[in-house]
Amino acid sequence: MARKPVSPPVAPPSPRTAGQDTPLDKPNAGRQDTAKTSSIQPDTMPPGSVLTTNQGVAVSDDQNSLKAGVRGPTLLEDTLMREKITHFDHERIPERVVHARGAAAHGVFQVYEDLSEISCAQLFRDPKVQTPVFVRFSTVAGSRGSTDTPRDVRGFAVKFYTQEGVWDLVGNNMPVFFIQDANKFPDLIHAVKPEPHNEIPQAQSAHDTFWDFVSLTPESTHMLMWLMSDRALPRSYATMEGFGVHTFRLVDAEGGWRFVKFHWKPLKGVCSLVWDEANLLGGRDPDFNRRDLWEAIERGDFPEWELGLQIVEPADEHKFDFDLLDATKIIPEEVVPIRKVGKLTLNRNPDNFFAETEQVAFHTGHVVPGIDFTNDPLLQGRLFSYIDTQLRRVGPNFHELPINRSLRPVDNNQRDGFGRITINPGKVSYFPNSLGGGCPMHSPTAAAAFRSVTVQEAGAKLRQRSESFNDHFSQATMFWNSMGDWEKDHIAAAFSFELNMVVDQGVRNRVMNELLCNISPQLADMVSGATGIEVAPAGTAEAPTPSAPTPSGPLDPKAAELRSPALSMDKAPPMVRGRKIAILVGDGVDSALVKTLIADLTKAGQVPELIGPTAGAVIDAATKPLAVNRAAPNAPSVIYDAVLIPPGVAEGLMAMPMAQRFIDEAFRHGKPIIAAEDARALFERLGIVDAEGVVIGDNKLSTAMLDNLAQHRFPRRVSNLAPN
* CA distances for 602 relative to 383, 610, 612, 649, 671, angstroms: 46, 13, 19, 22, 19
Contact between 215 and 158 under an 8 Å Cβ cutoff? The reply is no
- Check residue 516 and report its DSSP letter: I
Which one of 28, 64, 90, 99 is the catalytic residue? 99
Contact between 245 and 171 under an 8 Å Cβ cutoff? The reply is yes
The alpha carbons of the chain give a radius of gyration, in whole angstroms, of 29
Contact between 665 and 638 under an 8 Å Cβ cutoff? The reply is yes
99 among known catalytic residues? yes
CA neighbor of 242 nearest in space, from 308, 288, 341: 308
Q: Which amino acid is at 345?
A: T
Alpha-carbon torsion angle 386, 212, 525, 670, nearest 10? 50
Beta carbons within 8 Å of 611's beta carbon, 6+ residues apart: 582, 583, 584, 585, 628, 629, 630, 631, 632, 635
Which one of 64, 172, 397, 708 is the catalytic residue? 172
Question: β-strands 67-68, 461-462: how paired?
Answer: antiparallel
DSSP-derived 3-state class of residue 13? coil
- Check residue 356 and report its DSSP letter: I
| Whole-number Å distance between alpha carbons of 463 and 64 | 5
| Whole-number Å distance between alpha carbons of 360 and 338 | 30
Contact between 698 and 674 under an 8 Å Cβ cutoff? The reply is no
| Whole-number Å distance between alpha carbons of 335 and 333 | 5
Edge-first strand order for the sheet with 607-612 is 630-631, 607-612, 580-584, 642-645, 673-675, 694-696
CA neighbor of 148 nearest in space, from 160, 137, 158: 137
352 among known catalytic residues? no
CA neighbor of 118 nearest in space, from 223, 250, 209: 250
Chain centroid to CA 645: 36
| Whole-number Å distance between alpha carbons of 638 and 235 | 11
CA neighbor of 409 nearest in space, from 400, 418, 417, 397: 400
DSSP structure string for 191-237: HHSPBTTTTB-SS---SHHHHHHHHT-GGGHHHHHHHHSGGGSBS-G
Residues with catalytic roles: 99, 172
